[in-house]
Amino acid sequence: MALRGCWAVRGAAVGALAGAALLTAGTARAQQNTFHLDRLEVPGSPDDGLVLFRPATQERAIVYAQLGLGLSINPLRMSDIIQTDPATLRASQANAITNQFSTYMSAGFELLDHLTLGVTMPIAWEESGNLQSFNSSFNPHAYTNYQTTGPAVGDLRLDARYVLLRSEDRRWALGGQLSVFAPTGNGSTTNFGGDGSVGWMPMVTAEYTPVHFLTLVANTGVDFRPDNSINDPAARSGSSKNGLGIGDEWRWAVGALLPLAGGKYRLGATIFGQTGINSDQTIGTTAFTRQNSPIEYDFEGRMRLPMAGWEHWYVGLGAGSLLAPGYGAPDFRAVALFGTYFVIEDTNPQSPDARAKTKPR
């Protein structure tokens, strides 16, 4: 049964990849692009946190699957889009995107006690918001018409992760990771679904367990994203510098995980943030600007299901808010997780001995 479940999850992962390829090949890029708004990158494997990628693997090879259900309230404020046009800002609603209800579907493998290969597909099925107001003080040539309704398909994330160094007692570990974002959200580039082009993110992960009941985790990396903007953050059109530009970003996260009752339960807390790292004539200056440097916090809990035979199934819940405003940092964020994993069994076991062969059924 476990092996049959492995191949079922593997088939689902292959199907997701095939669907991504069809979406990528069959959708034309919109003329006015927004960007992928949701900052949350759900890792997906069973030892990870809600936000934290861990350099941790199961000793035996496994296949895993996870579904996340997420809600974010006010993830994009009008003040992130309009900075130097007070009349337009006063005439507009406070928030450009007021809510997003999203799913995060993940599947993958852990192999050789070091390697993790995974895929995650984010989709904002429901979305609502407000359009920016327009008046004579706002340059019509620098005005972006975005949409505020869903569904908004995100960009498929493909992960290759490897534990580079690890102590014999597994109290500390260092890992490397490369994530590639396929432009499956091409059809959602006007309603904050996808970035419209391929992106990639190299990252370093580390963890340390100073005492037997607490693990500290840190992630840092650079997200190389295509340039996208709303309005004119670089003042190209003769207007004042006014708009939101998104490009390459430095991302980071730090947190702690506390297992309880022999790992049956786990509590966690995380702080994660980012800032832009480049400046050009499309996105303007993004390094350490208020709108490009959001910071969030998150508290989470996870539990293995207590029923016999369900030890490899778990549920989790996380919730948090912003510490520093910026695009994609909501007033409130909540995510529920449902996940499982199966050990990949030996498909060619040794033959039974002679007595076992002749034993009657």
HEC string of 33-93 equals: CCCCCCCCCCCCCCCCCCCCCCCCCCCCCEEEEEEEEEEEEEEEEHHHHCCCCHHHHHHCC
What whole-number distance in Å separates Cα of residue 196 and Cα of residue 190?
10
- The whole-number pLDDT of residue 122 equals 97
- C-alpha 160/C-alpha 39 separation (Å) is 20
Cα end-to-end span (Å), the chain = 20
Q: Which two tokens stand for residue 172?
A: 């500390």
DSSP state of 350: P
Nearest-angstrom CA–CA distance, 356 and 107: 38
Per-residue confidence (pLDDT) for residue 285, from 0 to 100: 92
Count of Cβ atoms closer than 10 Å to residue 113 Cβ? 12
Peptide bond into 151 cis (omega under 30): yes
Q: Which residues of the chain have pLDDT under 70?
A: 1-32, 135-139, 237-240, 345-361
How many whole angstroms separate alpha carbon 217 and alpha carbon 270? 9
Task: Render the burial of 276-308: b for 16+ CB within 10 Å, e for the rest.
Answer: bbbbeebbbebeebebbbbbbbbebbbebeeee
Superfamily of domain 2-345: monomeric porin ompg (2.40.160.40)
User: Whole-angstrom Cα distance, residue 47 to residue 113?
Assistant: 13
What pLDDT shows up at residue 5? 42
Token pair for residue 85? 């046009």
pLDDT reported for residue 39:
94
C-alpha dihedral over 47, 50, 53, 54, to 10 degrees?
Answer: -30
Q: Dihedrals φ, ψ of 78, to 5°?
A: -65, -30
Could you read off the pLDDT of 139-187 as tens digits, one per residue? Answer: 677 788 899 998 999 999 999 999 999 999 999 999 999 999 999 988 7
Residues 227 and 199 sit within 8 Å (Cβ to Cβ) = no
CA–CA dist 37, 34 (Å, integer): 8
pLDDT at 182: 97
pLDDT at residue 187, rounded to an integer: 76
The number of C-alpha atoms within 13 Å of 212 and in the hemisphere containing its C-beta is 4
CA–CA dist 71, 123 (Å, integer): 12
Domain extents in the chain: 2-345
